Amino acid sequence: MFIVFSLFPLFSANAKDLRFAVVPKFYGVFFDQSGHGCKDVATQIKGVKCVYRGPEKASVRIQNQIIEQLIDEGIDGIAVAVTQSKFLAENSLKKAKQAGIPIITYDSDFNDFTLKKYKNLRLAYIGTNNFELGMALGEQLKKLRPNGGTLIIQTGRPDSPNLNLRIMGVRTALSGKRYATPPGQLLMNDHGWTEVREPFFNFDQLTRAVKQMESVMKGRPIQADSFIAVGGWSQNDEALYRKMIASYKGKLDRKEMVIVIADASPPQLAMLRDHLAHANVGQSPYEMGRQVILTLLKIVKKQKYEEIIYTPLNFCTPENYDTCTKNSPMGPMKN
Task: Identify any residues that bridge with 103 across adjacent strands, giving them in sequence order.
Answer: 78
Task: Please give the average per-residue pLDDT across 225-247, as a whole number.
Answer: 97
Task: Please give the average per-residue pLDDT across 316-331, as a whole number.
Answer: 80
- 2 pLDDT higher than 80: no
Task: Identify any residues that bridge with 261 across adjacent strands, giving them in sequence order.
Answer: 229, 280
Q: Mention every residue, 6+ apart, whose C-beta is less than 8 A from residue 27.
A: 54, 55, 56
What is residue 3's predicted lDDT score, i.e. its pLDDT? Answer: 39
Quickly state the pLDDT bin for 333 (edges 50, 70, 90): very low
- Strands 11-12 vs 258-262: parallel, antiparallel or unpaired: unpaired
Alpha-carbon span 213 to 210, nearest angstrom: 5
Quickly state the pLDDT bin for 14 (edges 50, 70, 90): low
CA angle 99, 102, 108 (to 5 degrees): 120
What is residue 328's predicted lDDT score, i.e. its pLDDT? Answer: 53
From 82, 83, 84, select the one nearest 103 (Cα to Cα).
Answer: 82
Which amino acid is it at 279?
A
Alpha-carbon span 224 to 257, nearest angstrom: 8
Task: Judge whether 272 and 289 are in contact, CB under 8 Å.
Answer: no
Alpha-carbon span 140 to 265, nearest angstrom: 18
From 197, 196, 229, select the one nearest 210 (Cα to Cα).
Answer: 229
Task: Identify any residues that bridge with 315 across adjacent strands, giving them in sequence order.
Answer: 281
- 306 pLDDT higher than 80: yes
Task: Please give the average per-residue pLDDT across 230-257, as a whole number.
Answer: 97
What is residue 236's predicted lDDT score, i.e. its pLDDT? Answer: 93
H-assigned helices in the chain: 29-42, 60-72, 85-90, 92-98, 112-117, 130-144, 161-175, 206-218, 238-245, 249-253, 266-273, 285-300
What is residue 261's predicted lDDT score, i.e. its pLDDT? Answer: 98
Task: Please give the average per-residue pLDDT across 141-170, as a whole number.
Answer: 96
Which amino acid is it at 53?
R
Task: Judge whether 223 and 194 are in contact, CB under 8 Å.
Answer: no
Q: Mention every residue, 6+ apart, whose C-beta is less than 8 A from residue 181.
A: none
- 225 pLDDT higher than 50: yes
Share of the chain above pLDDT 90, in %: 88
Task: Please give the average per-residue pLDDT across 2-14, as a whole number.
Answer: 42
Task: Please give the average per-residue pLDDT across 187-209, as a whole number.
Answer: 97
Q: Integer distance in angstroms from the first to the last C-alpha of the chain?
A: 30
| Average pLDDT over the chain, rounded to an integer | 92
Burial class (CB in 10 A: 0-12, 13-18, 19+), 2: exposed
Quickly state the pLDDT bin for 300 (edges 50, 70, 90): very high
3-state secondary structure of 149: strand
The full set of domains in the chain, from first to last, is: 11-128+284-312 (3.40.50.2300), 130-282 (3.40.50.2300)
What is residue 232's predicted lDDT score, i.e. its pLDDT? Answer: 96
Ranges 56-60, 69-73, 88-92, 305-309: which has the least confidence: 56-60
Task: Please give the average per-residue pLDDT across 306-322, as a whole number.
Answer: 97
What is residue 134's predicted lDDT score, i.e. its pLDDT? Answer: 98
Quickly state the pLDDT bin for 221 (edges 50, 70, 90): confident
| Interval 72-128: pLDDT, tens | 999 999 999 999 999 999 999 999 999 999 999 999 999 989 999 998 999 999 999
Q: Tell me how crowded residue 218 is: count the other CB atoms within 10 A of its CB.
A: 12
CA angle 200, 63, 20 (to 5 degrees): 125
Ranges 144-153, 241-250, 319-328: which has the least confidence: 319-328
